[in-house]
Amino acid sequence: MSRRITILKPGLQTCVQELPGRLGFLEQGFPISGPFDIWSFRQANILVGNHRDTAALECQFVGPTLRIVSDCMLSVTGADMSPTLDGTPIPMFTTIAANAGQILCLGFARSGARAYIAFSGGVATIPVMGSRAVFHQAGVGGRAVEEGQTLPLGDSDASTRFTVQASARPTITTEGRWTIEALAGPNDDWLGKESVDLFFAADWSIQAKSSRTGIRLTGPEFSFSEKALNKKPDHGQDPSNIIDHGYPMGAVNLAGQTPIILVNDSPSTGGFINPFTVASAAFWKLAQAKPGEVLRFRQIDRAEAGVMRAEIDAKTVPEVLERV
């Protein structure tokens, strides 16, 4: 009989995600999708003997309850949703040998916002346009899991139990303040100089209407440069309008006066400026920050962004595991 799990309670928009996401279809308007916190996602996979980019579950704010139908190794990483197996708390960032019939239950996120559940063999849903990553809003690659749904697992003979060294785990703060590394551009020259400085000096609080399609921020007002105020009508009427252009992942998109950070399931293109872009290595923090919490942006350059990427990359390899 094929290996699988059954969803008993779906949680809040629990989705299958896979790396590198859905590449090659951006020009038809399909976002890349994929896991929001790559650090936790990859550690979940290596704990169960998978390639680190294998399909796994991303849980958001409230995790699912599911039945293990076939014996497997599993791991839970990322936000602390108080995971239990048959009612007994299980350690996070640690391989768990689960038996057929056991119930895995995740609750509300006590710290962070997104947890990852990986199973040995990976989640083996059918890829759509080259990827198992789910873009829930448009139903690309499926939607969030539902009660009663069965998810197939791939084959695996993993049996070793590991834990991630404490120093290699992401530190998910419970203090409600995050420093997010960001780069100027592509459209920082559409803002007044004082607004560029203010962006990196101000506190930005995360609005409730934030999700994988965008993180909306509340903070001070922006002022615009001559380039934004005195432009060809082709660009549109508002100072923040520009002729439709591509939207980079992590762009801080300015629609009117509301900055929206564009993340994994955000629009691929549009007609508003993107004065700043969050570094790819800071994405895991956006994934774990909750509505009501505060972001402070720290300006970095491409060299530092590269150093940060390398640091996370080195923490998502089997060498950071210890046997238990």
Partner 1 sequence: MLHESLRFYPGGDRAIEVELGDGMDFSINFIVHRLVSTVRQSEIRGVVDLIPELASFQVNYDSDIISYEDLCTEIETLYSELGRGVTGSLASRLITIPVLYFDPKTTACISDYRKKYPDKTPDPELVRELNGIPDLAALKRCHSTTEYWVAALGFWPGLCSLLPLRPGSRIIAPKYDPPRTDTPKGAIGIGGALTCIYPDATPGGYQLIGHTPAPTYDGTQRLRDFKDSLALFRAGDRVRFAPVEMDEYREIEARVAEGSFEHDIIDYQVFSVDRYLDWAKAQEASA
Residues contributing to the site for partner 1 (CB under 8 A): 20, 23-30, 32, 128-129, 135, 138-140, 182-183, 185-187, 231-232, 234-237, 243-251, 267-271, 274, 277-281, 302, 305-306, 309-310
User: Smaller CB distance to partner 1: residue 154 or 306?
Assistant: 306
Least CB distance from residue 159 to partner 1, whole Å?
A: 33
Least CB distance from residue 175 to partner 1, whole Å?
A: 26
User: Smaller CB distance to partner 1: residue 49 or 250?
Assistant: 250
Pairing of strands 241-246, 65-68: unpaired
Least CB distance from residue 267 to partner 1, whole Å?
A: 4
User: Smaller CB distance to partner 1: residue 62 or 308?
Assistant: 308
Least CB distance from residue 269 to partner 1, whole Å?
A: 3
User: Smaller CB distance to partner 1: residue 63 or 142?
Assistant: 142
Least CB distance from residue 116 to partner 1, whole Å?
A: 22
Least CB distance from residue 30 to partner 1, whole Å?
A: 5
How does 225-247 read in b/e, with b if 16+ C-beta sit within 10 Å?
beebeeeeeebeebbbbbeeeeb
Q: In this structure, what are the phi and psi dihedrals at residue 191, rounded to the nearest 5 degrees?
A: -105, 155
Least CB distance from residue 29 to partner 1, whole Å?
A: 5
User: Smaller CB distance to partner 1: residue 62 or 138?
Assistant: 138
User: Smaller CB distance to partner 1: residue 29 or 220?
Assistant: 29
CB of 284 closer than 8 Å to CB of 313 = no
Q: Look up tokens 């972001």; give the residue.
A: 295
User: Smaller CB distance to partner 1: residue 80 or 265?
Assistant: 265
